Amino acid sequence: MTLSFDPGYDREPFQTLCDQAPGTAIYPFSSFRVEWGPIFHRGRLDSSARILCIGQDPAEHEAVVRRILVGTAGHRVQGFLAKLGLSRSYVLVNTFLYSVYGQSGGNANVNDPGIAAYRNQWLSAVLVSGGVEAVVAFGGLADRAWQAFLQGPGNTFAALTYCHVPHPTSPEGAGGMPAQIQARTQAMLVAWNAALVTLREAVQHPDISVPLTPYGDSFAPSELPSIPSFDLPAGTPPWMRGESGWAARTGATAILKRRTITTTVPDGVIPGN
């Protein structure tokens, strides 16, 4: 039976990996929001995934839903996968289990031995079945994670088709005026279009056959689909799968903002509101 929700970590080696997730001895409080707990993945862990996507770190939406890439970046990645004909057969793993805290936290810790060793166990567990046909890294930290993984002893996955593309929210992350963000978005989508061509050749077993439709200068609404219910834990309300923006870090001071995530049910969900 195909479930309409993610059953969780119901098989090995993922049960043990979750049980053995590193804490503050590996992920320092000074660089990571360890207080919100580890967030492991999104997608298929049953050997049916055809593509492995590597992201960066979980943010506020992910802390609530307990799956990675469900906010703005997640909707953009979901649209990217749809262009490959992948509506279900994918798996997403982040570079870090915990949200990065501070500007330098990610770069300073991306290949710390303990962080890399645990991450490599996840990558190996996902890839060992042999079903994955391609790998895509979203952002520089994800690329560094993949390159470090390939350097491990006895690694046999270098032959997989691999693309490194800009992180989905890198245009906004760099700041600047709207025109600058739009220019960076356009440049990012040019890189994404090139990756789609390469990945389409590598993914020989998509879920559905779709024509290759490249991105334009910005994201069209149809290119930002909802997160599927079968990627999320049972009981997740439908509005958490839709447009992002329902979660935000709030507080008058840095420590209050770190301690507080405000979630707001979107307009229209409650009748009359």
pLDDT at 1: 66
When pLDDT is averaged across residues 68-91 and rounded to a whole number, the result is 98
Beta strand ranges found along the chain (DSSP E): 41-43, 51-55, 90-94, 134-138, 161-165, 247-249, 261-263
The amino acid occupying position 150 is L
d(CA 217, CA 196): 16
Q: What are phi and psi of 161, to 5 degrees?
A: -60, 130
d(CA 20, CA 273): 44
Q: What global pTM score does this model have?
A: 0.96
A 10 A CB-CB count for 121 gives: 14
Residue whose pair of structure tokens reads 């049953």 in the numeric block: 46
When pLDDT is averaged across residues 31-44 and rounded to a whole number, the result is 98
HSE (CB half, 13 Å, CA atoms) of 262? 10
Using an 8 Å Cβ cutoff, are 247 and 271 in contact? no
Using an 8 Å Cβ cutoff, are 161 and 134 in contact? yes
244 pLDDT band (50/70/90 cuts)? confident
- Give just the sign of the alpha carbon dihedral 127, 131, 134, 138: negative
17 pLDDT band (50/70/90 cuts)? very high
102 pLDDT band (50/70/90 cuts)? confident
When pLDDT is averaged across residues 86-112 and rounded to a whole number, the result is 94
Least confident stretch, 33-42, 128-137, 150-159: 150-159
CA distances from 77 to 125, 169, 177 (A): 22, 10, 24
pLDDT at 104: 81
Residue, of 104 and 237, whose pLDDT is higher: 237
Query: Which CATH class, in words, describes the domain spanning 14-212?
Result: alpha beta
pLDDT at 174: 86
Q: Where are the domains of the chain?
A: 14-212
The one-character DSSP state at 231 is G
d(CA 14, CA 30): 28
Instruction: Give percent of the chain above pLDDT 90.
Output: 92
pLDDT at 33: 97
183 pLDDT band (50/70/90 cuts)? very high
Q: Tell me, rounded to whole angstroms, the distance of Cα 243 from its chain centroid.
A: 16
For residue 116, is pLDDT > 70? yes
47 pLDDT band (50/70/90 cuts)? very high
